[in-house]
Amino acid sequence: MIRIFVLLAAVLFISYGQAQSADTLFSDDFSGTSINGTRWVLPATTAGMDVVLNNGALVFKTTSGNSLVPQSAWLSSQTFEAPDYWSKVNFNGYWGSSNLNTTSMSLYIYDSNTPSKYLEVVRSNTGVTFIDSLKTNPVAYIDKTFTSGGFSFRFSRVGWDFYEGTFVQGSPLEHIETDTMASSKFFNLKIGGSDATTSAFRAFGFDNIDVKGSVVPEPVSMLLFGIGGATLGLSRRLKKRRGKKEEV
């Protein structure tokens, strides 16, 4: 009987490890010739700006000089669903601009059912601004010179972090404690920005957008995991007792 419980415990430990893996919720490497309508809603633009795919990247570009009146464009994803008992959601990708002096780029994630709940990261010539819809004032990280075009934006039910580079490692550029997305399950990603320039063909863009969700075990699995751990501990104690009896 003990052997059966030990085998069950081992299976539960393996299942627990698998439950910690991250699942892809949304991704696009923009490798096609046109914007993928199954992933994105058609872009919303103002006159003087186009949104196109160019050399495997999503490019927002001005088509004419506009006397410093900002021209903007946005691309919103189709709704995607996070798994039950999600713990963290990671957004990775690349962004860049031909001239940050006039460009403002944004990465914006919002609750599909309650769009007024959102988190936003804005990159411009003054640095990076972090905006949380539940906070009165944005948190700004000013005068940051990026050495990489990559970003990693991670949020959980109790806070969110922003990293330079496409891997979550080291200390984040900014950490904000918030429960804005604590009860959310359906999300939309919105990327884009604006450019105020007197020159045509200024551009900014995004590439290799990837969204992954990490899952924690559901309560029943956690209970079974606890039973498995206790069983393994009991098995070890019994083996020790048997060993002592044999020595006697």
Q: Per-residue pLDDT tens for 12-31? A: 444 444 445 678 999 999 99
Under 8 Å between Cβ of 206 and 58 = yes
Distance CA 38, CA 79 (A): 10
Under 8 Å between Cβ of 63 and 48 = yes
Using alpha carbons, select from 205, 62, 21, 178 the residue that is nearest to residue 111.
Answer: 178
Mark residue 136 as left, alpha or beta (left: phi above 0; alpha: psi -120 to 50; beta: remaining): alpha
The CA-atom distances, in angstroms, between 68 and each of 192, 195, 197, 200 are 18, 8, 5, 11
Domains, the chain, with CATH or none: 1-20+218-248 (no CATH), 21-216 (2.60.120.200)
Residue 126 is given by DSSP the state T
Residue 143 is given by DSSP the state S
The CA-atom distances, in angstroms, between 208 and each of 54, 95, 163, 205 are 13, 9, 16, 11
Instruction: Answer positive or negative: Cα dihedral of 63, 209, 190, 149.
Output: negative
Per-residue pLDDT tens digits of the chain, which is 248 residues long: 545 444 444 444 444 444 456 789 999 999 989 999 999 998 888 777 889 999 999 999 887 666 566 788 999 999 999 998 899 999 999 998 888 888 889 999 999 999 999 999 988 887 788 899 988 777 776 655 566 688 888 999 999 888 877 666 678 888 889 999 999 999 999 999 988 876 767 789 999 999 999 987 654 444 444 454 455 455 566 555 555 555 55
Under 8 Å between Cβ of 74 and 110 = no
Query: Is pTM beyond 0.95 here?
Result: no
